[in-house]
């Protein structure tokens, strides 16, 4: 960005050729220094990730979720979903993968399936009924959700 601005200033005659070359050397050196710092920080982050244990048992995962979630309520707060779910991948209208964000900065390849569940008609019907909506049995097909952490 600074280099672009510098080039524009030279093209518009705001600075001399000597000033342009002097500033260009400084800006280029600054860019290289910053890039080296970024590379070093990324390498340190990868090293830290490689040394940490990122796998949880089903019991540990369940314990962490029970602390944060109230499973007695049929609706989970949106903020909880935003905080714990890194991404959702839809394989079809009836099958989804949920990737939980329990360990910050874990690479996508670090996820392992910890559990899966099926949302059957009875559960979906109860939820819809609670919201004042109708769900007919012939309209519904079971939904499968795979949880990765």
* Same domain assignment for residues 47 and 62: no
Counting residues of the chain whose pLDDT is more than 90, the rounded percentage is 19
CA distance 116 to 97: 9
CA distance 79 to 68: 11
The domain in which residue 67 lies consists of 58-148
* Same domain assignment for residues 103 and 32: no
pLDDT for residue 96 = 95
Does this model's pTM top 0.85?
A: no
* Same domain assignment for residues 130 and 65: yes
CA distance 74 to 80: 14
Number of domains in the chain: 2
12-16, 53-57, 81-85, 109-113: the lowest-pLDDT one:
53-57
CA distance 17 to 73: 70
- Tell me the average pLDDT across 98-127: 82
* Same domain assignment for residues 65 and 45: no
């Amino acid at each position: 960005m600074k280099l672009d601005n510098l080039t524009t200033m030279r093209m518009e005659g705001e600075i001399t050729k000597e000033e342009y070359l002097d500033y260009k050397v400084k800006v280029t050196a600054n860019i290289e220094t910053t890039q080296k710092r970024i590379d070093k920080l990324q390498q340190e982050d990868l090293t830290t990730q490689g040394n940490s244990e990122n796998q949880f048992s089903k019991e540990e995962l369940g314990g962490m979720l029970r602390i944060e979630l109230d499973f007695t309520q049929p609706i989970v707060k949106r903020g909880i979903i935003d905080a714990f779910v890194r991404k959702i991948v839809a394989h079809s209208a009836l099958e989804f993968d949920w990737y939980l964000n329990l360990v910050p900065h874990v690479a996508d390849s670090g996820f392992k399936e910890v559990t899966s569940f099926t949302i059957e008609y009875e559960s979906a019907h109860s939820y819809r009924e609670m919201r004042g909506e109708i769900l007919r049995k012939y309209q519904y097909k079971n939904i499968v959700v795979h949880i990765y952490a």
